[in-house]
Structure 1
Amino acid sequence: MTPSIPDEASLPRAEVLAGRRGQETARVTGEGGCECYLHSLYDPRGEAAAFVPAPFSASTVLFLGTGLGYHLPLVLAANPQVRRIVLVERYPELAARAAEGAAGNGVLVEIVTATPGDPAPPLPADLDAAALAVVSHPPSLSANPSWYARYQVASATVGHERPNGAQASRRGPLTVLIPFEAYYTQRECINGFAALGHRVVTLDLRGREGDEVPLFREALLRERPDLVFSVNMRGLDRRGVVAGMLERLGIPLALWFVDSPEFILYGEAMPSPAACHVFMWDRSYIPAVAGQGYRVDYLPLAADTVLAEQAAVQDRFRAPLSFVGNSLVSGFLARLAVKFPPSVAGDAFVGRAMDRIIASRGDQARVLDELIAEAAPLLPDADARLFFRAYLLHGATSAYRTRLLERLLPLGLTFFGDPDGWRRVFGPGIRAFPDVNYFRETPAVYASADININATSLQMPHTVNQRVFDVPLCGGFLLTDRQGALFELFDEDEVAVYDGIDAVVETARFYLGEPGLRRAIAEKARQRVLGEHTYGHRMGRVITTVIGDVKAGTRDWGPGTGKGGTREMVVR
């Protein structure tokens, strides 16, 4: 994917003028008509020091945006080995001024800038991305992000371009690059790839939002992965620059959506259909994404076998009925409500709408479409409709969960997580304990309870959540609501199901009185999970679908229990 650039005619020139203390600055009208200064009005030379990276070994430097070039001499002074610089600057007059300041000392200076005949000329053909140091000027990139996005892609790929899918045949363990933000299912996927024997490189992006492009550039050129894998597009920049790099380098990108894509893609640039393969955790969302030309496959959630190591019964977690999760009264609904007119959220329509969604489990996507259409006259634009949709889904899920769990309180229901929130909902007399660590404590909660209650989010019309796999893996017994995918994944004697809020108490009472049956169901489900529903199985499916059969000698690297190495690249 090559980011688009604005028409040359729509881009004004730069204006050089004196700042507050007499030093020159540059004022430009960037993309979208935003007027901005590329340098401090008070101390542009002092500011320039912030744009100087740590010393590097490259002898060729590409300056991505220069402004008036205050930082260029500082970079060159810190790196005396540099013999060639390439100035990529949107405004010709600024490029010329920057070149003047950097000339001398035997350094070759080349300029790449817009001209009337070529608004975005290519980089010099003899450059090698792997031998380049790239120094960005953030104010320039902020003013004209689309224009510079093209060169961000080129700076990571020049000299290394390959048609998509043109990688050599792969034998032996793959190198899989995963952008990591400690986000839902990321650790599980890392463990799944590693269990198959593949080398996993995790690109640590925690606390680095906005730095994805340079960090990805470094990782791609250093690690040369066979596959990049992202959960919910986490770690990919909003403008599609990283996806453009991957497409040019011929590295396949696998995207696994484990939440509704309509909310994830809000304000995001989706990679081109040729550049990625999409996996969807719920079948209901496949038609909309496939209709845009994407290759989409169904891939349900799974269990991480690492959890089983902590699944010991502990007295402190014993309970007749257990629910792990928060109360959903954290204020998220209030934050959504400010995104659309108050008259909509305050209308009695909302309460009726949520009741309809709850009553239509399994068909809630269609009902939700009808509700949004009914409310359309009160919703001024597509953004308001999207946020109102999220408001209804989240509100209905909260109401469904509250009504269900309230019925179970007399049976000894115990909450793990968000005790203050649950007490606000049900009063001070309930048994509620602090949050439990997912990897270290939740397995013991699942193993220790007589019955673990599951209530599926209403954003999942068809699929099942991760608890359906985690509880039996940990030796626990699960009582869950009925979902369309449930008996595609398990046999009927491997799962206990309640049919709606009105049936949950009777069903729970029955299983509380049948400990032998609970143990039998739980053990059958555990064997099913270990045999078919681990993250090793799911990541094996990703590899087979995107890359094909990958062999090391005579060994088939499909789903299995092999050991592999995981090396984390910590970038701070």
Structure 2
Amino acid sequence: MKIIFCRHHSICEPGILKSLTRLGHEVVEFMHDREPQDYDKDYLLRLAALLQQTPDAAAVLSVCFSPIIARASKPFGIPYISYTVDSPCSTLYSKTMEYPHNRLFLFDKLQLAKFEHRNPGNCFHTLLACDIEHFDNVTVSSTDMKEYGTDVSFVGSLYSEKNSYDDIADKLPAYMRGYVEGLCSAQKNVYGYNFIEDALTDEWVSDFVSTVGFDPLPADYETDLKGIIADTYLNCRCTELERKHTLDAISRHFHVDLYTQSDSSMLPHVKNRGIADSERVMPKIFKCSKINLNMTLRSIKSGIPQRAFDIMGCGGFLMSNYQPELAEYFIPGEDLVLYDSVDDLIQKIDYYLSHEEERLQIAKNGYEKVKRYHTYDTRLTEILNTVISD
């Protein structure tokens, strides 16, 4: 079938594009920057013109939901497929999400539960996937092993530079800051259940809005102040506290390499290796590290993050915080290893560093399961079959 693929520089797009072509679909790429992302008139007119010139297109596709794509494609009645890879995804609050031609695929079951009532029958749970064909072509030399081999590695942000809470913290009175810090400190020690949003009272939210001057979304968006505040500010702050605390704790026992552009000066025992190129360097890190650590962004309530698929798809050994869907789709102790506290993590790192054969077998099992069930070829076939069967 012919598919118009609206691209916006997502790291998932190259793998999706190669997969669609490999599956025999004809892909028409549409790549234009948009500003603002909801109302760029030039973008809308360009896309509408392409749709008019391509009457045989079976669908429009994008990574994550885009209101302007929904608007442009609505008059043509062509299915608009959005494959959401982010949580939070603020555009899901847009009223355009309710258009009947939308087909929305969400990777987090709790994210789906939150939004599916707004477009019943057109929202689906679909896992993320892995560009395993690319990873299989990334080879590792003896020089690479010397460069990237380590006991434990973590690739990702500390969220100190991404934490929007820091931008507004000074505006909050002491009692509100104290509540945030206490709440996040408690949440960072609990895995598999996020209680931050439920813990925000209407009074606290009202005080936050009036103090900060909070005006989060355009007028034609659904208002969910608790959810937006929790995801935009508090879950990012919790992620920052968790990652710093966890890395500090394990680095006092093991050699830990961190690949990030974040400031890690507060982690004296961690070796900061700088940012890692996702196409060439990151796969080598996953292949060379004895243990690859995943710490899921706290706004991903139940879903499996992209990092987990990438680590296993490289044949790396994955040790991750407990996530409900990781335990549902993979077998802990057989395909990967999950931890439920920092003490548990330290004990499991110590065990698997000294049990190499078992560690290598788990990494092999994880790779085989991802290769069989979680490639882009598999996932896109599922998505397109769902849309076609409507």
Same fold (TM over 0.5): yes
How many residues get paired? Answer: 365
Superposed counterparts of 1:73-472, under 5 Å: 174-206=1-33, 210=40, 211-224=42-55, 225-234=57-66, 236-237=67-68, 242-261=69-88, 263-265=90-92, 268-294=94-120, 295-305=122-132, 306-313=134-141, 314=144, 315-330=146-161, 332-334=163-165, 336-337=167-168, 342-343=172-173, 347-364=177-194, 366-373=195-202, 375-380=204-209, 383=215, 385=225, 388-389=229-230, 390-409=232-251, 410-418=253-261, 421-422=263-264, 424-427=265-268, 430-472=270-312
Task: Give the 5 Å matches for 1:444-523.
Answer: 444-492=284-332, 493-523=334-364
Taking the aligned partners of 2:309 and 2:89, their CA distance within structure 1 comes to 25
- Relative distance call for 1:262 and 1:465 in structure 2 (3 A) is closer
Deviation at 1:377, TM superposition (A): 4.1
Structure 1 residue 355: Cα displacement? 2.0
What SS does structure 1 have at the residue aligned with 2:290? strand
Question: How far did residue 208 of structure 1 move?
Answer: 6.5
Paired residue type of 1:450: K
Structure 1 pair 331–461 and aligned structure 2 pair: CA distance change class (3 A): closer
- Whether the aligned pair in 1 keeps the contact of 2:71 and 2:96 (CA below 8 Å) is no
| Deviation readout 1:430-458 (Å, 9 max, x if unpaired) | 31112111111111110011111111111
AA partner of residue 376 (structure 2): Y
How many angstroms apart in 2 are the aligned matches of 1:337 and 1:277?
A: 36
Distance 1:350 1:229 in 2: 38
Match of 1:138 in 2: none
Deviation at 1:245, TM superposition (A): 3.9
For the aligned residue pairs, the C-alpha RMSD in angstroms reads 2.5
Match of 1:529 in 2: 370
How big is the shift at 1:346? 5.5
Deviations 1:317-371 (A, max 9, x none): 1111111112211163356527x9522786311111112322443221x442222
CA positional deviation for 1:247: 2.7
Q: What's the CA shift for 1:465?
A: 0.9
8 Å CA contact 1:416, 1:433 repeated in 2: yes
**C-alpha deviation, 1:392, in angstroms:** 0.6
User: For residue 182 of structure 2, what is the amino acid of its counterpart?
Assistant: R
1: distance between equivalents of 2:203 and 2:349? Answer: 38
1:540 to 2:381 alignment: yes
**What are the superposed Cα offsets for residues 73-125 of structure 1, whole Å, 9 maximum, x if unpaired?**
xxxxxxxxxxxxxxxxxxxxxxxxxxxxxxxxxxxxxxxxxxxxxxxxxxxxx
AA of the residue aligned to 1:482: Y
Cα distance, 1:426 vs structure 2: 1.1
Cα deviation, residue 261, structure 1: 5.0
Structure 1 residues 323 and 179, CA gap change in structure 2 (3 angstroms): same
Aligned residue for 1:274, secondary structure, equals coil
Contact 2:92 2:115 in 1 (8 A): no
1:447–1:474 Cα contact (<8 Å) kept: yes
Distance 1:437 1:185 in 2: 14
Distance 1:333 1:271 in 2: 25
Unmatched segments (≥5 aa) in structure 2: 217-224
Same amino acid, percent of matched pairs: 21
Maintained 8 Å contact 1:360/1:367: no
Deviates more, 1:435-444 or 1:194-203: 194-203
Runs of at least 5 residues in structure 1 that lack an aligned partner in the other structure: 1-173, 550-572
Higher relative contact order (CA 8 A, sep 6+): 2
What amino acid does structure 2 have at the position aligned with 1:231? V
| TM-score normalized by the length of structure 2 | 0.86
Classify 1:367/1:334 alpha carbon distance in 2 versus 1 (closer, same or farther; 3 Å): closer
CA-to-aligned-CA distance 1:345-403 (integer Å, 9 cap, x gap): 86311111112322443221x44222254623413477474553221110001111111
- Please identify the structure whose Cα radius of gyration is greater: 1
Instruction: Please give the per-residue CA displacement for 1:447-501, whole angstroms capped at 9, x wherever unaligned.
Output: 0111111111111121111122111221211111111111322233111122222
Does the Cα contact within 8 Å between 2:106 and 2:126 map onto a contact in 1?
yes
Per the normalisation by structure 1, the TM-score is 0.60
2:165–2:237 CA contact under 8 A, matched in 1:
no
User: Which structure's residues are more often helix, by fraction?
Assistant: 2
